[in-house]
Amino acid sequence: MIQVFANPHRFMAFSKAAQPWLYGLAGLMIAYSLWQAFYVVAPELYQGDSARILFIHVPAAWLAMATYAGMAVASFVWFIWRHELADTAAKALAPIGAAYTAICLYTGAIWGKPTWGTWWQWDDARMVSVLVLFFMYLGYMAIRAAMDTRQKAARAGAIIAMVGAINVPIIKFSVDIWASLHQPASVVRLDGPTMDPSYLYPLLIGALGHTLLMTALVFTGMRTDVMTRRADALLLRQATT
Amino acid sequence: MADALLSATDLAAARGERLLFRDVSLSVCAGEALILRGANGAGKTTLLRILAGLTRAEAGEVSRPQPIHWIAHRTGLKPHETPRQHLALWAKAWGAEADVDSALKAAGLARPADVPARLLSAGQRQRTALARLKLQDRPVWLVDEPFSALDVDARAKLEADIIAHRSSGGAVVAAIHGEPGFAPSGEVRL
Amino acid sequence: MADALLSATDLAAARGERLLFRDVSLSVCAGEALILRGANGAGKTTLLRILAGLTRAEAGEVSRPQPIHWIAHRTGLKPHETPRQHLALWAKAWGAEADVDSALKAAGLARPADVPARLLSAGQRQRTALARLKLQDRPVWLVDEPFSALDVDARAKLEADIIAHRSSGGAVVAAIHGEPGFAPSGEVRL
Amino acid sequence: MTNPAPLSSAFRQALTEAWAGGAGAFLPVGFFAGAAMLVPFGIGQGNEQLAAIGPGILWVALALSSLVTMERLFQADLEDGALDLWIQTDAPLSAVAAAKTLAHWIAAGLPLALITPLLGLMLQVPPADLLPASAAYGVGGLAFFLWGGVGAALTAQVRRGGLLIALIALPLYVPTAIFGAMTLQSDAAGMPPEALYLGASTLFALAVAPFAMAAALKLAAD
Amino acid sequence: MTNPAPLSSAFRQALTEAWAGGAGAFLPVGFFAGAAMLVPFGIGQGNEQLAAIGPGILWVALALSSLVTMERLFQADLEDGALDLWIQTDAPLSAVAAAKTLAHWIAAGLPLALITPLLGLMLQVPPADLLPASAAYGVGGLAFFLWGGVGAALTAQVRRGGLLIALIALPLYVPTAIFGAMTLQSDAAGMPPEALYLGASTLFALAVAPFAMAAALKLAAD
Ligand code: HEM
Ligand SMILES: Nc1ncnc2c1ncn2[C@@H]1O[C@H](COP(=O)(O)OP(=O)(O)OP(=O)(O)O)[C@@H](O)[C@H]1O
Ligand SMILES: Nc1ncnc2c1ncn2[C@@H]1O[C@H](COP(=O)(O)OP(=O)(O)OP(=O)(O)O)[C@@H](O)[C@H]1O
Ligand SMILES: [Mg+2]
Ligand SMILES: [Mg+2]
- From the CA of A118, which ligand is nearest? 1
- Residue B14 in contact with ligand 2 by CB distance below 6 A: no
Q: Ligand 2, atom 10: nearest CA belongs to which residue?
A: B15
**pLDDT of E217:** 96
Min Cα–Cα distance to chain E from A201, Å: 35
Q: Is C61 exposed, middle or buried (0-12, 13-18, 19+ CB in 10 A)?
A: exposed
Whether the pLDDT of residue D24 is over 60: the answer is no
- The partner residue sitting opposite D88, judged by closest CB among C52, C55, C77, is C52
Whether the pLDDT of residue D84 is over 90: the answer is yes
- What mean pLDDT do residues B141-166 have? 95
**pLDDT of E132:** 80
> What residues of E are in contact with residue A152 (Cβ under 8 Å)?
219, 222
Q: Work out the mean pLDDT of chain C and round it to a whole number.
A: 93
**pLDDT of D58:** 76
- Residue B124 in contact with ligand 3 by CB distance below 6 A: yes
Task: Tell me if D24 and E161 make a contact (CB, 8 A cut-off).
Answer: yes
**pLDDT of A98:** 95
Q: Which of B130-139, E35-44, E58-67 has the lowest mean pLDDT?
A: E35-44
CA dist., res. C164 & res. E133, Å (int): 72
CA dist., res. C121 & res. B41, Å (int): 5
**pLDDT of E185:** 72
Ranges in chain A, pLDDT < 50: 183-193, 241
The helix (H) or strand (E) run that includes residue A146 is helix A125-146
The neighbourhood of ligand 5, an ion, using CB within 5 A, equals B 121-122; C 45
**pLDDT of D23:** 44
How crowded is residue A48: how many other Cβ atoms within 10 Å of its Cβ?
11
**pLDDT of E164:** 81
- Residue A68 in contact with ligand 1 by CB distance below 6 A: no
- Contact partners, residue B125, CB within 8 Å, separation at least 6: B75, B77, B117, B149
**pLDDT of A146:** 83
CA dist., res. C121 & res. C33, Å (int): 29
Which residues is B62 bridged to in the sheet?
A: B8
- Residue B150 in contact with ligand 3 by CB distance below 6 A: no
- Going by pLDDT thresholds of 50, 70 and 90, the confidence category of residue B44 is very high
Between the ranges A143-157, C29-43, E124-138, E171-185, where is the mean pLDDT highest? C29-43
Q: What percent of chain C has pLDDT over 70?
A: 99
pLDDT digits (tens, 9 = 90+) for C68-81: 999 999 999 998 89
Helix, strand, coil shares, percent, chain B, to 5: 35, 25, 40
- Going by pLDDT thresholds of 50, 70 and 90, the confidence category of residue E190 is low
CA dist., res. D101 & res. D66, Å (int): 11
- The partner residue sitting opposite B52, judged by closest CB among E16, E88, E89, is E88
| Residue C83: closest CA among C43, C59, C110 | C110
- Residue C46 in contact with ligand 2 by CB distance below 6 A: no
User: Rounded to two decimals, what is the model's pTM?
Assistant: 0.90
**pLDDT of A185:** 40
Minimum Cα–Cα distance from A117: chain D residue = D124
- Going by pLDDT thresholds of 50, 70 and 90, the confidence category of residue D120 is confident
- What mean pLDDT do residues E183-196 have? 74
Whether the pLDDT of residue E23 is over 50: the answer is no
> What residues of A are in contact with residue B17 (Cβ under 8 Å)?
232, 235-236, 239
Cα dihedral D188→D189→D191→D197 (10° resolution): 0
- The partner residue sitting opposite A170, judged by closest CB among E155, E164, E204, is E204
Q: Ligand 1, atom 20: nearest CA belongs to which residue?
A: A58
- The partner residue sitting opposite B177, judged by closest CB among C41, C45, C152, is C152
Whether the pLDDT of residue E2 is over 70: the answer is no
Q: Is A180 exposed, middle or buried (0-12, 13-18, 19+ CB in 10 A)?
A: exposed
CA dist., res. E183 & res. E48, Å (int): 20
- Residue A92 in contact with ligand 1 by CB distance below 6 A: no
Query: C60 or D29, which is more confident?
Result: C60
**pLDDT of D111:** 82
pLDDT digits (tens, 9 = 90+) for C89-148: 999 999 988 899 999 999 999 999 999 998 999 999 999 999 999 999 999 999 999 999
- Going by pLDDT thresholds of 50, 70 and 90, the confidence category of residue C56 is very high
- What mean pLDDT do residues B9-16 have? 90
A31 touches chain B (CB under 8 A): no
- Residue B16 in contact with ligand 2 by CB distance below 6 A: yes
Residue E169 and residue D30 in contact, taking contact as beta carbons nearer than 8 Å: no
- Going by pLDDT thresholds of 50, 70 and 90, the confidence category of residue E22 is very low
Taking an 8 Å Cβ-Cβ cutoff, which residues of chain C contact chain B?
Answer: 15-16, 18, 38-42, 45, 73, 108, 111-112, 115, 119-124, 126-127, 145, 148-155, 177-178
**pLDDT of D124:** 72
Task: Tell me if B78 and E82 make a contact (CB, 8 A cut-off).
Answer: yes
> What residues of A are in contact with residue E219 (Cβ under 8 Å)?
152, 155-156, 159
- What mean pLDDT do residues D204-213 have? 94
**pLDDT of D189:** 60
Minimum Cα–Cα distance from B23: chain A residue = A240
Task: Tell me if A159 and E179 make a contact (CB, 8 A cut-off).
Answer: no
Distance between Cα C42 and ligand 3 center (Å): 7
Task: Tell me if D45 and A182 make a contact (CB, 8 A cut-off).
Answer: yes
Residue A137 and residue A160 in contact, taking contact as beta carbons nearer than 8 Å: no
**pLDDT of A192:** 45
Min Cα–Cα distance to chain A from D143, Å: 30
CA dist., res. A175 & res. A122, Å (int): 10
- Going by pLDDT thresholds of 50, 70 and 90, the confidence category of residue E188 is low
pLDDT digits (tens, 9 = 90+) for E26-41: 666 766 676 666 666 6
Between the ranges C60-69, E72-81, E151-160, where is the mean pLDDT highest? C60-69
Residue C47 and residue C55 in contact, taking contact as beta carbons nearer than 8 Å: no
**pLDDT of D168:** 80
- Contact partners, residue D118, CB within 8 Å, separation at least 6: none
- Residue A150 in contact with ligand 1 by CB distance below 6 A: no
**pLDDT of A188:** 42
**pLDDT of E46:** 58
- Going by pLDDT thresholds of 50, 70 and 90, the confidence category of residue D1 is very low
